[in-house]
Amino acid sequence: MKMNVMAYNSGKGKENGHSKGYDFLIALAAQPNAGKTTLFNTLTGKTGYVGNWPGKTVERMEGTFVHHGKIFHVIDLPGIYSLSALTLEEFVSREFIVDEQPHAVVVLLDAEALERSFYFLLQILELMGKVVVAINKYDVAQSKGLHINTELLENELGVPVVTISAIKKTGLGELLDRIVDVAEGRLGRQKEFKIEYGPLEHYINRIESVLAEYKLFEKYPRRWVALRIIEGDIYFIKEIEEKNREAAEAIVEIVKEIKNVYKKDPVELIILYRYEFLNELISKTTEMVRISEKRLIEKLDNILLNPYSGPILSSLILLSMIFLAFIINTGFPLNYIFISLGYESIAEYIEENSLSALISKIFSVIAEYFRDFAATYNIQGWPLDLVIEGIIPGVGSVLTFLPLIFIVNVLMALLEDSGLMSRIAVSFDRLLKKVGLTGKTIFPLTLSLGCNVPGIMGTRILETDEERLSAIILMPLIICQARLFVLLIMVSALFTGAIIQTFVTASIYIISLMLFLLFNKIVSKKVFKQKEEPELIIELSSYHLPSLRVIRWISWERSKSYIIKAGTLIFLFSIILWVLSYFGPSVTQNVNESYGAIIAKTFTPALSMIGIDDWIIPFALMFGWVAKEIFITAIVVATGKINPIEAVASLSLTPLQSYALLILVMFYSPCLAAFVTVFNETRSFRLTLFSAIVSLLIGFTGSISVYWIGRILGYN
């Protein structure tokens, strides 16, 4: 049979790298937890940046480094378990290898989970031979009794193998030398890497002949495509159906035959043969000397994974983390604690020195400076007002949120990198299972308390589509820090007494969580027709001290993508808000008669249901959906008061109206950035709209019910 080995090893770099500003294109591939981020960061240092895969929402890290005068451009492929196209991450990884044909792929193995890492390596080797194998954490594994004969392994695999420690930066020089060797063609496999699949070989050959006959998928190694098809790869199967009916029928026939003969899903056979191959390989090339020791820190598992103490300890860890972020950002709830203890001056000090207060102070100073400047030179008119009332507060509200998001990201990265997060997921699994989610959801949920945008993106770790879509759609019900900011101002302005204020604030969080859980149960069962409860599968990686470098880097990158995505939107709409509130049909420059107010007034009847017939609140709600904190900005603009608390207080609402309004403001809509993210992640306009409608209905019915139940109970 004629082989298309051409496709197996044409990795010469798609184009001459020089035209793109580098000599070699290198890809970094590994399973999750292998230490890939650390290695990438060590190699590329400060040059690393986050981009997106073309046309995809999966993030892609890129960076550059120089070794022996050659410029290497590194692409960090997402951490994946296999190369099947089950997830978007897996799909973009393999398409990158095939389409961009990097000069070398560095496959990072985890010495502490060697067998599973090997499984991943075998899949890469079946696809391409320009591979350098780097065994990470070898020092740790060695201390536990593992020995690897790397020379023998090199002979067996046909590609260079080096042992490294990405954290301690050992073995990196050799790794770089081997990368150059492979990139320049001195090392690496020339011939296709073949695993014997026993009786399946016959079927593999038959599928290969069909592919050859119809000239399908020429850019991939043919044997590799045949294997993928037997594994049930939806991408290839769909493509064939579209391209060539005849070929599709022939292939379906072959796959059916395997199923009939072996009474099993062929993918299981393939995985079995791969493991058989690697068991033999590992026993040949490694030696494990058992050193039994139960490390002290592993005893933490006894508490964290216990069904009773686990959820308690996990909740404590998450709560203290969230409170720490809140206190740094806004002073809440520490300020309320001091007020209730009678130390008002300390509470005031904490509030004034919270991050959000400091930043808003800076921006009011800048605005003041502009005003003085204008007064001195007698400058007047709308451009000046645009700068002082539109642009400066707009930039301010974007920047106020960056540190908030950053702190949550740092704390989350700490939990992730230390191995704690997976344990927390296990301990929340029993609770979340009851509403059709798995314990893994706790991760996006916690991110959402900082900002819904990373929370919605964080649902990618969830296993099934039903679970994921349901979590995405309802994620906007989780109170983010932008809403915490609105909540705190409204509570301070509309309620009196630290105890009542704390109670109101806490109740909103409890309602938010309850709504999320309740509606998840309904949506997953009724809308997505979830039949079986989703099941948790999660690897509990060993505990380790988080690397500060990695954490700083991850959190900075995540925060930066927030400011670009959300920041531009918030900024843009703060300007539109200013325009709508500044200009009107007449030239009186009275907000009351602006275009914005005119539009808002048509919505006033809707709010009369909770006893509010002011135009200011609908005006603020109209803009609040863009970014929640603009709700407050809009009230400030409309009332003409400078201090936001005074502005909200001047609305003179009764406590009942205030609480009904709070429910409405908190839940009535995802913000624009969250809305866009829901669309990006679901790729469905229908589901995005559904998400917005669910929020709107919950916000309105919740608010109206609270108001009327209160009225019936005799409040007003």
Partner 1 sequence: MSEDVIPLSSMPENSKGIIEELSGGIGLTRRLMEMGLVPGTEVEVVQNNLGPIIVRIRGITIAIGRGMANQIFVRKVK
> Does 251 interact with partner 1 (rule: CB under 8 A)?
no
Establish if 310 lies at the interface with partner 1 (CB under 8 A): yes
Residue 464 binds partner 1 (CB under 8 A): yes
Binding of residue 539 to partner 1 (CB under 8 A): yes
Residue 214 binds to partner 1 (criterion: CB under 8 A): no
Which region, judged by CB under 8 A, interacts with partner 1, from 19-27, 95-103, 496-504, 529-537?
529-537
Q: Within its chain, how far is the Cα of 370 from the centroid?
A: 39
Q: What is the distance between the alpha carbons of residues 452 and 481, in angstroms, rounded to a whole number?
A: 9
User: x/- site string to partner 1, residues 52 to 91, per CB under 8 A?
Assistant: -----------------------------xx-x-x-----
Pairing of strands 49-52, 59-67: antiparallel
Q: Total residues contacting partner 1 (rule CB under 8 A)?
A: 44
Interacting stretch for partner 1, rule CB under 8 A, among 8-16, 65-73, 114-122, 578-586? 114-122
Cβ-count burial 696-709 (b if 16+ within 10 Å, e if not):
bebbbebbbebbee
Give the C-alpha separation, 411 to 460, whole Å.
Answer: 20
Q: Can you tell me which of 200, 254, 426, 488 binds partner 1, judged by CB under 8 A?
A: 426
Rounded distance between C-alpha atoms, residue 425 and residue 420, angstroms: 9
What residues pair up with 62 in beta bridges, in sequence order? 49, 75
| 280 sits near partner 1 (criterion: CB under 8 A) | no
- 275 forms part of the interface with partner 1 (CB under 8 A): yes
Does 139 engage in binding with partner 1 (CB under 8 A)? no
Binding partner 1 by CB under 8 A: which of 129, 171, 534, 618? Answer: 534
- Interface pattern 230-249 for partner 1 (x via CB under 8 A): --x-----------------
CA distances from 238 to 18, 216, 217, 241, 336 (A): 37, 12, 12, 5, 59
- If binding is defined by CB under 8 A, does position 463 make contact with partner 1? yes
By CB under 8 A, tell whether 346 contacts partner 1.
no
Over the Cα atoms of the chain, what is R_g? 29
**What is the rounded distance in angstroms from the CA atom of residue 132 to the CA atom of residue 129?**
9
Interface residue with partner 1 among 35, 439, 444, 455 (CB under 8 A) is 439
Instruction: Considering the complex, state which of residue 108 and residue 482 has its C-beta at the smaller distance from partner 1.
Output: 108
Distance between CA atoms of residues 411 and 427, nearest Å:
19
Q: How far is the CB of 293 from partner 1 (least distance, A)?
A: 15
- Taking the C-alpha atoms of residue 42 and residue 27, their distance in angstroms, rounded to an integer, is 15
**Interaction of residue 113 with partner 1, rule CB under 8 A:** yes
Q: How far is the CB of 425 from partner 1 (least distance, A)?
A: 8
d(C-alpha 31, C-alpha 78), whole Å: 8
Which of 577, 117, 547, 177 is CA-nearest to residue 391? Answer: 577
The candidate with the shortest Cα–Cα distance to 16, out of 73, 58, 56, is 73
Nearest residue (CB) to partner 1, 531 versus 686 = 531
For residue 433, state whether it binds partner 1 (rule: CB under 8 A).
yes
Q: Which residues contact 125 (CB under 8 A, 6 or more apart)?
A: 131, 157, 159, 189, 193
CB of 552 to partner 1, least distance (A): 28
Query: What's the CA gap between 206 and 226, in Å, rounded?
Result: 9
Cβ at position 288, least distance to partner 1 in Å: 9
Stretch that binds partner 1, among 421-429, 515-523, 676-684, 691-699 (CB under 8 A): 421-429
State yes or no: residue 524 binds partner 1 (CB under 8 A): no
Q: Are 581 and 637 in contact (CB under 8 A)?
A: yes
- Where do we find the tokens 């009186």? 588
Region near partner 1 per CB under 8 A, out of 39-47, 113-121, 369-377, 667-675: 113-121
Residues that bind partner 1 (CB under 8 A): 81-82, 84, 86, 112-116, 119, 232, 265, 267-268, 271-272, 275, 301, 305-307, 310, 422, 425-427, 429-430, 433, 438-439, 463-464, 532-542
